[in-house]
Structure 1
Amino acid sequence: MPLAVAPGLLLLLLLLANGTRGALVVSVATSPVRAQPGSDLLLGCHFSVGGDVDMEALVVQWKLGGRLVAEFDAVQSYSRAGASLSLEGLRVGNASLLLPRVGGSDAGLYTCSIIHSPSRESRQVELRVEAPPRVSVSGTAVRAGEHSTVTCSVNGFYPESVNVTWLRDKQVVGGPETPLAQLGPDGLYSATSTLQLVPSISHADANYSCRVQHITLGTPIQEPFWLSVLSQPRLTLLQPLVTLEGQVTLQCLVSGYHPPEITVQWLRDGDPLVTMESSPMKQTDGSFALCSSYILNHPESNAQANFACRVQHPALSTPLESTATWTVPTCTKMCLGVIGLILLVLLVLLATWIVYQCCNISMSQIHVGECFPESSVTVLLCEAEGRLRDTDSLTWRSPRLGKELGSGQPGELSTLMPEQHRVVTWRHRLGLGRQRLTSVLTVQTPRDEESFSCTFRLGARDMQQTQITIPGVAAALTAAGILARLYTSHLRGQTSENFSKDCPLLDGDMAIF
């Protein structure tokens, strides 16, 4: 079914069509237009007159700002060298301007004006002459502890202003700076920025970058890099290891190097040997170390042979090598003399120790304990040990009473005193003329805190004394059973250690035993 059109609407469409015939329409390229310096650029401008172009009624003008660059008005004229318009293009509505080898002076706002009498239209387009930079970093191989320079190269950019910043682990360590730019023959600029540093091995683990900002960049270029920190290895020949079977292991220690890649080789008179080496171990300063070894199964057959430990590493221009001549060890007269002297010193030390043990007299601290949980009887034990005489003794004293608590002669059970205490003393022979003198004081535990002292007497002279303070507990039990037990232990030949096992004592504390 044909589409029906209202008579009024059809008349309106015909009037609009006749009215638009011969109307001038101008269009230009999307602004801005970007071009690199030195390139040829066709700056687009097209027009339509609704029919054939009347060249006699056509005028075309290109202006940069207020300066006329190119014009067609029956004839062509140009103020910019090399600029041109195409006559063939103008006849079909193409007024594009060709600019060969554009430069910075060509940048700006252009106006394309078209006059097709009686109509006149113009459009504007911006030309930007620019080029984004290319960034590269060099000089990243550095030596630990030496002054080094890392270079960031920024090339092929336009316009000339560029900003450079150095970063380490995202922290600024250099810049920002605007380095001097150099114009190249291609019309593009280049610049360099340097980072001065004295690296350590720890810097090898840091993340570095060179950040470049330029007008052509939406976001800065950040070129990452890592330092290859070189540290020369140190080579040390260690003392050979000799087993009881006569096997000899030659060793060399390689330390202080970085990076960890390294080659270590043993040679015998210049010939390579099959060697063993440990894995590189990272040290606290970030360097590496390893130990390489070679086993001599028959060292006698290698007498006077030259063994070399050779190291190759990126930090070395030539291999590092250390050589030693293997000599079968023999014990000379001097060696025997040294051994004899050592044995003599050991004998003297042994004799001195024996004499000291025989002559030295030592006295123990006072031990205290209770032998039954329900007991209020306190037992105090004191000992002296060494080369003792029969007249030597241990004496107990109570500062509160201001007197001695029994004579305590060896082997004698003292009589029960009014203050309810007993003292028993015995002697045990240890060998090498040494004896142990043991004295035990048994008292009813005082109601209040009380002190007791034990004195060792060498003959009639007081030599050493020790003292203890015990807390008070209500009296509940006599001491007869305790003394009987102690005396039975003495008759069995028990020492204070045996006594402690049956009735454990704690220094300065009350122990239930």
Structure 2
Amino acid sequence: MPLAVAPGLLLLLLLLASGARGALVVSVPASPVRAQPGSDLLLGCHFSVGGPVDMQALVVQWKLGDRLVAEFDEVLSYPRAGARLFLDELRVGNASLLLPRVGGADAGLYTCFVIHSPSRESQQLELRVEAPPRVSVSGTVVRAGERRNVTCNVSHFYPKSVIVTWLRDKQVVGGPETPHAQLGPDGLYSATSVLQLVPSISLADANYSCQVQHVALGAPIQELFRLSVLSQPRLTLLQPLVTLEGQVILQCLVRGYHPPEITVQWLRDGKPLLTMESSPTKEADGSFALRSSYILDRPESNAQANFACHVQHPALSTPLESTATWTVPTCPRLWIWIWILLVIVLILLALLVWIMYQLLNISMSPIRAWECWPKGGVTVLLCGVEGRLRDTDSLAWSSLRLGKVLGPGQPGELSALKPEQRHVVTWRRRLGLGRQQLMSVLTVQTPCNEETFSCTFRPSTRDVQQRQITIPGVAAGGPPLDGDTSVF
């Protein structure tokens, strides 16, 4: 006959049996858990039963939504291919799940369900399979006026959707768009977005960016860049300037180029020469221009010599060059030689007298002036003195406004003007018989109003000599008013 148990006693026995195993506690990591496609992932789940784990009373299940992924119920089973639970770890309360080579199908809400009879407990965590994009920009070297494509390369991202926006100085100039993405062998996506433009030099200073939005990013990311706008220089040989002393100044004008880095060199029969050049000036369209010069001494001795203005610039695939040839006039006929000999004798006599005069005389030539490109923008003044000079003798330039001398400055300088408004080149040449030639070239920005410049010869022991010239200025719109001038 079975023993009857009072209902109250039976309830007490059940409670005691339950308490003997202790409270079941299950814990999982903070959610969400992120993993890149193709990686191996361990989803953590730990449990405590207040004592040793009874494997006969233990059941562990992992579910993705309502779909079973892995289970331990006396034996291990894995509906999801490759998933693993570790039996030795289960004995110490570790029910973590290994998912090899996770993909998009593995993303979702997971439940770690633990039964340690008679207790049961579960915890959930979200798995996100995603990878943030990498961004790079190519095609930023462009030529002014030519249609070009700048490409934004977005790679190594997951999931598939990505949004690209083009900005210039923080203003939208392209997009937003969702470019077509392609899946790579590594399980990650890549996409490209193209910005079409016809660049001008003015766009070289603009700040561009390719902005990318993706679910794996907390905020949009930007790849900043500037356009490297190339514009080829244009080379023009200017009319040579001939001085009273027989010197020839060869000039070339280089304009319309960008960026400003450029190399201009004069060559004589392929060999480099000492060159004078102005500082680059910026034109209204943002391009640059400069003028380069070479002073040719005694050109009659340079028969059939080729003088080339040679230009190198990043926009040129090969250097740009323009050549001028100095040619000696053809010889006269033989019957003219008699007359030439007579003329030579007279010239030699006159030269002898002139040499005797020059040995005792110091002459200062009038100031020569000419306007250079751009018209009216730059004025070049040439001053020279010749004779038995001392090494301490010098030439100095001064500026006179309204009859008031602003200061002569130091030899070869012009203190009345700012450094960026003038440029002085002074050189000395020995002529023989103890004579020297001292020359000085002053390049100034043409003044707005009439202004007088003076060139002063300062000998160490003799009287000071001075020449003056008046520039009418840009407002007057004409050549210099006085002085011995030539305008080209």
Q: Same fold (TM over 0.5)?
A: yes
Residue 326 of structure 2 corresponds to which residue in structure 1? 326
CA distance in 2, matches of 1:94, 1:235: 80
Runs of 4+ in 1 over 6 A off after TM superposition: none
Which 5+ residue runs of structure 2 have no aligned equivalent?
A: 1-14, 333-488
Question: Match of 2:235, as an amino acid?
Answer: L
CA distance in 2, matches of 1:251, 1:88: 91
Deviations along 1:428-452, one digit per CA (max 9) or x if unpaired, are xxxxxxxxxxxxxxxxxxxxxxxxx
CA distance in 2, matches of 1:190, 1:147: 25
- What is the 5 A alignment of 1:70-469? 70-327=70-327
SS at the partner of 1:267? strand
SS at the partner of 1:190? strand
Question: Match of 2:65, as an amino acid?
Answer: G
1:31–1:119 distance in 2 versus 1, CA, 3 Å? same
Residue 37 of structure 1 corresponds to which residue in structure 2? 37
Residue 68 of structure 2 corresponds to which residue in structure 1? 68
Deviations along 1:112-166, one digit per CA (max 9) or x if unpaired, are 0000011000000000000111111000000000010000000111111000011
1:325–1:192 distance in 2 versus 1, CA, 3 Å? same
SS at the partner of 1:174? strand
SS at the partner of 2:204? helix
SS at the partner of 1:186? coil
CA distance in 2, matches of 1:41, 1:129: 10
Deviation, 1:21, is 5.7
Question: Match of 1:129, as an amino acid?
Answer: V
TM-score by length of 2: 0.63
Question: Match of 1:193, as an amino acid?
Answer: S
Deviation, 1:100, is 0.5
CA distance in 2, matches of 1:81, 1:326: 88
SS at the partner of 2:84? coil
Deviations along 1:482-507, one digit per CA (max 9) or x if unpaired, are xxxxxxxxxxxxxxxxxxxxxxxxxx
CA distance in 2, matches of 1:77, 1:287: 74
Deviation, 1:80, is 1.0
CA distance in 2, matches of 1:328, 1:296: 14
Give the structure with higher Rg (CA). 1
Question: Match of 1:133, as an amino acid?
Answer: P
SS at the partner of 2:63? strand
1:324–1:281 distance in 2 versus 1, CA, 3 Å? same
Deviation, 1:329, is 7.7
SS at the partner of 1:246? coil
TM-score by length of 1: 0.60
Residue 25 of structure 1 corresponds to which residue in structure 2? 25
Deviation, 1:170, is 1.2
Deviation, 1:328, is 5.2
Aligned length, in residue pairs: 316
CA distance in 1, matches of 2:181, 2:171: 26
Deviation, 1:293, is 1.0
Residue 51 of structure 1 corresponds to which residue in structure 2? 51
Deviations along 1:78-135, one digit per CA (max 9) or x if unpaired, are 1111100011110100000000010000000000000001100000000000011111
Question: Match of 1:96, as an amino acid?
Answer: S
SS at the partner of 2:304? coil
Deviations along 1:39-84, one digit per CA (max 9) or x if unpaired, are 1000000000111111111100000000000000011111111100
CA distance in 2, matches of 1:61, 1:236: 85
Residue 390 of structure 2 corresponds to which residue in structure 1? none
Question: Match of 1:84, as an amino acid?
Answer: R
CA distance in 2, matches of 1:145, 1:188: 38
CA distance in 1, matches of 2:119, 2:250: 102
Question: Match of 2:197, as an amino acid?
Answer: L
